[in-house]
Every structure is written in C-alpha cells, then in structure tokens.
C-alpha cells in the first residue's frame, strides 16, 4: 500500500515558492510595524493618564468638608492646604498629617534667611510652685507675636521644658568636651566591631544620646508623634513667618 504522505510531500514540492520581498519593501514593512507599536504605546499611555485623572477626580469628590475640618482642627493649617494634603493622601487623614508635617519642614527651611523682629516671652510654673520655665519664642512681626495661638505655643513649649528638662536648645549647642566624654563611653561599647561599622554605630549612638537632651529634637509632651521642631515648623507654616525658640531657662527650688 502506498503511503499518502508521499503524495502530500510531492504536492508540497509542486507548490510555488513565495517571492522574497525586495529590501526596500522589508524596511517599509518594519517601519510600519514600529510606527504601529509607537501608536499603540501612545494610546496605552493616554488611557492610563485618563484613568489616573478619573481616579483623582473621584478622590476629590470623596473629600468631604468634615474631613477637611477634622484635619484643620488637628493641625491649625489653612483649609486649602488641608484639602490639598487630603487629595494627595487619597482621603487618608493620617497620611495627610504626615504630608503636612513634611511640607511644614520644607516651608520653614525656605524662610531660614529671614530676620526675627518680634517675639514673646512666656512662663510656665508648675502647680506646686517649686519648678518652672521662662521661654522666648521669636517671629518676624508684632502681628504674629500678639496672636493668642502664638502665645499659647510659647507657653506649651515652656511647659514641655519644665517637664522634660532638656539640657540644650539645639544640637549646635553641644560643646566638644561633652561630645568627647560621650564618645569615650560609646567607643568602649563598639570595641571589636569592624572599622567600617564603628563610625556609623558611634554616630547613631551619639545622635540618640544627645537627641534626648536637645529641646528641638524631643517629642512634644502633649503629642509624642511630633517633635518640638515639628511643632514650631507647623506654626511657621500656619502663620507664614519664620519662627524659632530663642532661649529658655528652667528653674527649680534650691537647684543651681
């Protein structure tokens, strides 16, 4: 019996060969193919962009006045800034607060070269009358220094100083003697560690050790989620002026 595959192979051999495209035609075909790919990518990018814009519009529509009011009550920041932060955070109030804190630090940094021309001196005396603090909070204008919220901020920080007893105002006040003393203690703790790690470990230990003694680095006693520096930066963003704690003095009966 003759195999049918013999006829199939013969039929294939009898099929006319497809003529090969000229080089110019090949290039033209490749060019069209690349153009189609680019058009398809452009179309996809446009669709993604439209989708993002639609999601953003939906988020904006979902931001309620109650959310804006809640965020404003917690931060004291303007309504527009609260609304923008909520939009950026997709309506999440906790995330919006983080965004506002970040922006307040950036805002304060931009005003670093401005000059202080006003301020207030406030005091906090503990109920037992044995301990208290006098503190100076600086700003740029009398308009802000006479504001009740600015005065209340100075009193809050004075109360914090009374409770936490910081040794320094900022890291810049730490003298070389104190640094050398602390370094001697921590060097003994990292003895035997690889040299490449020693510097990093020592720096971390020093920052932690002195950070607890520096007023501006301490968590605010009324809200540990924010430092005193963050508190001042937020007020600076709110009032639109450069602000800083000028100095403080803590007093305790019979303590020199």
- 226 & 254 share domain: yes
- CATH number, position 98: 1.10.8.10
Q: In the listed set 46, 79, 110, which residue is the last one of a domain according to the structure?
A: 110
Task: Give yes or no: residues 72 and 151 share one domain.
Answer: no
- What is the pTM (predicted TM-score) of this model? 0.62
3-state secondary structure 60-105: HHHCCHHHHHHHHHHHCCCHHHHHHHHHHCCCCHHHHHHHHHHHHH
Total domain count for the chain? Answer: 2
Q: What is the CATH number of the domain that holds 120?
A: 3.30.479.20
Is residue 47 one of the residues assigned to a domain? no
Q: Are residues 100 and 129 in the same domain?
A: no
pLDDT in tens, the chain (256 residues): 555 555 555 555 555 555 555 655 555 556 566 676 777 777 777 766 666 655 555 445 577 877 777 777 766 666 777 777 778 778 877 777 777 767 666 656 666 678 889 999 999 999 999 999 999 999 999 999 999 999 999 999 999 999 999 999 998 898 888 888 888 888 888 787 777 788 888 888 888 888 889 999 999 999 998 899 999 988 888 888 899 999 999 999 998 7
> What is the strand order of the sheet 131-139 is part of?
118-125, 131-139, 244-252
Domain span at residue 77 reads: 63-110
251 three-class SS: strand
Residues 118 and 88 in one domain: no
Q: Do residue 104 and residue 228 come from a single domain?
A: no
């Amino acid at each position: 019996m003759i195999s049918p595959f013999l006829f199939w192979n013969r039929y294939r051999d009898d099929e006319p060969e497809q003529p090969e495209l000229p080089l110019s035609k090949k290039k033209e075909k490749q060019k069209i193919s690349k153009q189609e790919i680019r058009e398809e990518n452009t179309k996809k990018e446009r669709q993604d962009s439209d989708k993002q814009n639609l999601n953003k519009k939906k988020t904006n529509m979902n931001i309620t006045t109650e959310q804006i009011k809640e965020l404003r009550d917690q931060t004291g920041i303007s309504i527009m800034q609260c609304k923008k932060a909520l939009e950026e955070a997709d309506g999440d109030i906790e995330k919006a607060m983080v965004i506002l804190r970040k922006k307040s630090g950036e805002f304060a940094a931009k005003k670093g070269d401005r000059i202080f021309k006003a301020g207030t001196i406030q005091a906090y005396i503990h109920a037992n009358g044995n301990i208290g603090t006098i503190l100076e909070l600086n700003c740029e204008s009398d308009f802000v220094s006479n504001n009740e919220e600015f005065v209340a901020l100075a009193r809050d920080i004075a109360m914090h100083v009374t409770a936490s007893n910081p040794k320094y105002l900022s890291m810049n006040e730490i003298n070389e003697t104190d640094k050398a003393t602390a370094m001697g203690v921590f060097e003994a703790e990292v003895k035997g560690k690889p040299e490449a790690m020693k510097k990093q470990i020592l720096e971390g230990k020093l920052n932690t050790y002195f950070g607890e003694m520096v007023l501006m680095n301490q968590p605010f006693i009324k809200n540990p989620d924010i430092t005193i520096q963050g508190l001042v930066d937020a007020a600076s963003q709110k009032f639109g002026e450069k602000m800083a704690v000028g100095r403080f003095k803590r007093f305790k009966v019979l303590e020199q």
